[in-house]
Chains A and B, each alone.
Chain A
Amino acid sequence: MTVRVQREDFDVGREIAKLRAGTAGVGAVASFVGIVRDSNEAAEIRTLTLEHYPGMTEKALGDIVAEAARRWKLCDTLVIHRVGELRPSDQIVLVAVTSAHRGEAFAACQFIMDYLKTRAPFWKKELTPTGERWVEARTSDDEAAARW
């Protein structure tokens, strides 16, 4: 399993090809790509700046992926999360999971995203036409994580 926090963009096709390479028995790949929206709470988004806590962020992502591997039978897992200044339609995050069958891959992918949203130390700051603002945490994200 691989966890990366990086400023650079990523190529989903290439990353999934690498994840599958050399792993026999893969019958399913489930992936999620998070994208910067062009608006949030009725405001136009010019830039979205992602901050993290080096050291703890990588550890938290590793713990989440390890927990997924305990709950489901997986072949391999990849998480890439970008930091720094992003713009609308930029890719923010990739979660990709391989397994023998689709059920494990779908479930683990969704679990990892739900836990990432509520447990991995990242913070978003939006630049709108009226200035900068920190994004507030959503209770719907807590509810999504609690169902697991």
Chain B
Amino acid sequence: MVRLVYLARLRDSLGTGTESVDLPGEVGTVAALLEWLSRRGGAWKREFAPGRAVRIAVNHDVAGPETQIRPGDEVALFPPVTGG
């Protein structure tokens, strides 16, 4: 199982804050996860379309498209940050 966390605007537009999912074997990277989520259609397709500004963290570290995702990981998906 992988725990997915949606934050800020993403949580609002997707209508969910967290979920636990069993990822198919071929979904082993951040890029593959985004593509897999976008296949849900609707808001998922819009938010995770190529070119959308989505930031990813795996286990609280900033991740890139090639970052590996393994069972037990916490993957957070969020828009560019606006603190300070």
Contacts and interface: CB of A to CB of B under 8 A. Distances in A.
A123 B84 contact: no
Contacts, number: 68
A102 interface: no
A118 interface: yes
Interface residues of B, number: 17
Contacts of B80: 136-137
Interface string B65-84: 00000000000101111111
Nearest to A93: B84
Given A51-B8, A56-B57, A59-B60, A124 B76 contact: no
A134 B47 CA distance: 15
A87 interface: no
Contacts of B82: 117, 122-124, 134-137
Interface in B32-58: 53, 57
Given A52-B83, A56-B60, A117-B83, 4 more contacts: A117-B81, A121-B76, A122-B82, A122-B83
A113 interface: yes
Nearest to B11: A51
A118 B81 CA distance: 6
Contacts of B12: 134
A123 B76 contact: no
A34 interface: yes
A96 interface: no
B60 A34 contact: no
Contact of B53 (A52, A53, A123, A137): A137
Contacts of A118: 81
